[in-house]
Amino acid sequence: MRVLTRTINGHPVNPIGLGCMSLSWAYGIPPLPEDGAKLLHRALDLGYNHLDTARIYGEGKNEALIGETLKGRRNEFFLASKTGIIVEGKDRRIDCKPATIRSALEESLRLLQTDHIDLYYLHRRDFDTPIEDSVGELARAVESGKIGSIGLSEMSAETLRKAHAVHPIAAMQTEYSPQTRNPEIAVLDACKELGTTFVAFSPVGRGSLPGTLRDPAALPEGDLRRHWPRFKGENWTNNLAQIDAFGAVATGVGVTPAQLALGWVLAKGDHIVAIPGTANIAHLEENIARGDWRPDAATITRIDALINQTTVAGPRYPAAAQAAIDTEEFA
């Protein structure tokens, strides 16, 4: 496989990175730590060199897993983590005050067993703290050498521009797949204009586009998708029909649905990288196996007509979670 590298803050990375969340939280039952460690080592061996985590993933367990597992291979990958969603017992809040960022960064460095995080994101917009203040604190962390660059997650083009005026923003991370087109409103263009890499999370539709998920109600109780609108009732019935049609397109062009979704995302711009997540080594291998493949223009047009913001049923988040999102929304 010929890998065409892209860059984040000047660092070459494989266009397909690894979202590590499901190794500790959110989807299904997390694997045992020893199995998560096997997957992380396999990822590096396969050529994944951009690993993405966050403090909220397992309330520190994900950072700790990466730190303990890969401390001897730290020079082999570009490391990203996030702060801003604070969990203390049953209390959960968005907090990007400078003092909170300073404390969170120190804890992330400790858990990750490193003195340097290559890319450190604000995980969500703190509407009670000016974005300029939050980015100013991160700029000081860049100056001190504790982080290499600054990222934003699930924020708007307007917020990106405000932040970038304080310090260059290396990456904007937002959900992007054939099912979720919000970045196409403004953020993708703003990133290209400013030299900010766009990092697409959930590029395979939160595990739905491969077509193997048939009944979300049968997912384990702790799986967040059981409670998300697109995976429930009539919304799911509508979306599953599109997913099956998407699978037929993939078969027609000789790739798996997951590979088609990743190729579609990466074909949307040279400034885009994708970070599919998985806790399954077979899926890990599948995702990167055709990392150099892109769909042709006719296939992209076909997908765009099949699945888009007007054909997908249901918002991507429940109302409470959506209230914390700064990304532009379609009318």
Q: Are 77 and 70 in contact (CB under 8 A)?
A: yes
Average pLDDT estimate for 284-292: 97
Confidence at residue 2, expressed as pLDDT on a 0 to 100 scale:
59
Q: What is the pLDDT of residues 183-203, one digit of tens each?
A: 999 999 999 999 999 999 999
Q: In the annotation, is 57 catalytic?
A: yes
Q: What is the pLDDT of residues 122-177, one digit of tens each?
A: 999 999 999 999 999 999 999 999 999 999 999 999 999 999 999 999 999 999 99
Total length of the chain: 331
Confidence at residue 51, expressed as pLDDT on a 0 to 100 scale:
98
Reference 236, options 313, 328, 157, 316; nearest CA is 313
Confidence at residue 3, expressed as pLDDT on a 0 to 100 scale:
61
Structure tokens, 239: 């979306």
Confidence at residue 90, expressed as pLDDT on a 0 to 100 scale:
81
Confidence at residue 88, expressed as pLDDT on a 0 to 100 scale:
82
- The DSSP element (H or E) to which 272 belongs, if any, is strand 272-275
Q: Which fold has domain 6-207+265-294?
A: TIM Barrel (3.20.20)
Q: Are 19 and 61 in contact (CB under 8 A)?
A: no
Q: What is the pLDDT of residues 23-68, one digit of tens each?
A: 999 998 999 999 999 999 999 999 999 999 999 999 999 999 999 9
Q: b/e string for 83-109 if b means 16 or more Cβ within 10 A? A: bbbbeeeeeeebbbbeebbeebbeebb
Residues in Cβ contact with 202 at an 8 Å cutoff, skipping those fewer than 6 apart: 19, 175, 176, 177, 180, 276, 277
Q: Which entry of 48, 57, 176, 317 is annotated as an active-site residue?
A: 57
In angstroms, the CA 197 to CA 220 distance is: 34
Q: Decide if pLDDT at 91 tops 90.
A: no
Confidence at residue 89, expressed as pLDDT on a 0 to 100 scale:
80
Share of the chain above pLDDT 90, in %: 95
Over the chain, what is the mean pLDDT? 97
Q: What is the pLDDT of residues 198-238, one digit of tens each?
A: 999 999 999 999 999 999 999 999 899 999 999 999 999 99
Q: Are 64 and 305 in contact (CB under 8 A)?
A: no
Share of the chain above pLDDT 70, in %: 99
Residues in Cβ contact with 110 at an 8 Å cutoff, skipping those fewer than 6 apart: none
Confidence of residue 305 (pLDDT cuts 50, 70, 90): very high
Confidence of residue 1 (pLDDT cuts 50, 70, 90): low
Domain borders along the chain are: 6-207+265-294
